Amino acid sequence: MSDPAPIPLLDIQNVSRIFASGDSEIRALDDVSITVWSGEFIAIMGQSGSGKSTLMNIIGCLDRMSSGSYHVLGQDVSTMDADRLAQLRRETFGFVFQRYNLLATESAISNVEIPAIYAGTDFNHRFSRAKELLTRLGLDNRMDHRPPQLSGGQQQRVAIARALMNNPPLILADEPTGALDSKSGADVMALLHELHSEGRTIVLITHDEKVASNAERIIHIMDGKISGETIIHEARPVEADAPAHKGTISFAGSAREALHMALKSLRVNIFRTSLTLLGIIIGVAAVVTMLAVGNGSKQKVLNQISAMGTNLLMVLPGAPGIRPTGDVATLTIEEADLIKIMPNVEAAVPVRTSRMTVRYKDIDVQTVIQGVGQDFLIAKDWRITKGQFFSDKDVRSYAPVVVLGKTVESNLFPDGENPIGKFIILQNIPMQVIGALAVKGASANGNDQDDTVVIPYSTGFERLFGQRRYLSNVTVKVADVTQIENTQNAIYSLLMRRHKVEDFNIRNMASIMQTATDTQNTLTLLLGVVAAISLIVGGIGVMNIMLVSVTERTREIGIRMATGARREDILLQFNIESVVVCAIGGMLGVITGFVFGFILHFSGMQVIFTPWPALLAFTCACGTGTIFGYLPASKAANMDPVVALASE
Name the site residues for ligand ADP (rule: CB under 6 A): 19, 21, 26, 28, 46, 48-54
368 bridge partner residues: 355, 452
Rounded least distance, CB 47 to ligand ADP, Å: 7
Say whether residue 206 binds Mg ion (CB under 5 A).
no
Which amino acid is residue 296, in one-letter code? Answer: G
Cβ atoms < 10 Å from Cβ of 555: 17
Handedness of CA 593, 598, 599, 605 (dihedral sign): positive
Which amino acid is residue 356, in one-letter code? Answer: M
Task: Return the number of the residue (46 or 558) whose C-beta is nearest ligand ADP.
Answer: 46
x/- map, 45-64, Mg ion, by CB under 5 A: --------x-----------
Number of residues that bind Mg ion (CB under 5 A): 1
Give the helix/strand (H/E) hosting 447: none
Contact between residue 568 and residue 630 where contact means Cβ atoms under 8 Å apart: no
Contact between residue 493 and residue 332 where contact means Cβ atoms under 8 Å apart: no
Q: Which does 46 bind (CB under 5 to 8 A by kind): ligand ADP, Mg ion, none?
A: ligand ADP
- The rounded distance, in Å, linking the Cα atoms of 152 and 376 is 94
Which amino acid is residue 86, in one-letter code? Answer: A
Task: Return the number of the residue (58 or 349) whose C-beta is nearest ligand ADP.
Answer: 58
- The rounded distance, in Å, linking the Cα atoms of 226 and 33 is 8
Rounded least distance, CB 176 to ligand ADP, Å: 13
Task: Return the number of the residue (179 or 238) whose C-beta is nearest Mg ion.
Answer: 179
Cβ atoms < 10 Å from Cβ of 624: 28
Task: Return the number of the residue (159 or 286) whose C-beta is nearest ligand ADP.
Answer: 159
Rounded least distance, CB 18 to ligand ADP, Å: 9
Rounded least distance, CB 99 to ligand ADP, Å: 12
Q: Which does 21 bind (CB under 5 to 8 A by kind): Mg ion, ligand ADP, none?
A: ligand ADP
Which amino acid is residue 154, in one-letter code? Answer: Q
Which amino acid is residue 97, in one-letter code? Answer: F
Rounded least distance, CB 46 to ligand ADP, Å: 6
Task: Return the number of the residue (55 or 433) whose C-beta is nearest Mg ion.
Answer: 55
Task: Return the number of the residue (48 or 482) whose C-beta is nearest ligand ADP.
Answer: 48
- The rounded distance, in Å, linking the Cα atoms of 56 and 67 is 16
Q: Which does 19 bind (CB under 5 to 8 A by kind): Mg ion, ligand ADP, none?
A: ligand ADP
Rounded least distance, CB 57 to ligand ADP, Å: 8
32 bridge partner residues: 15
Task: Return the number of the residue (29 or 170) whose C-beta is nearest ligand ADP.
Answer: 29
Task: Return the number of the residue (223 or 346) whose C-beta is nearest ligand ADP.
Answer: 223
Pairing relationship of beta strands 41-45 and 217-222 according to DSSP bridges: parallel
Rounded least distance, CB 262 to Mg ion, Å: 33
Q: Which does 28 bind (CB under 5 to 8 A by kind): ligand ADP, Mg ion, none?
A: ligand ADP
Q: Which does 456 bind (CB under 5 to 8 A by kind): Mg ion, ligand ADP, none?
A: none
For residue 17, give every residue at least 6 positions away whose Cβ sits within 8 Å of its Cβ, in sequence order, or none: 27, 28, 29, 51, 54, 55, 58, 63, 65, 66, 224
- The rounded distance, in Å, linking the Cα atoms of 101 and 559 is 6
Rounded least distance, CB 208 to ligand ADP, Å: 12
Q: Which does 182 bind (CB under 5 to 8 A by kind): Mg ion, ligand ADP, none?
A: none
Interface residues with Mg ion (CB under 5 A) are 53
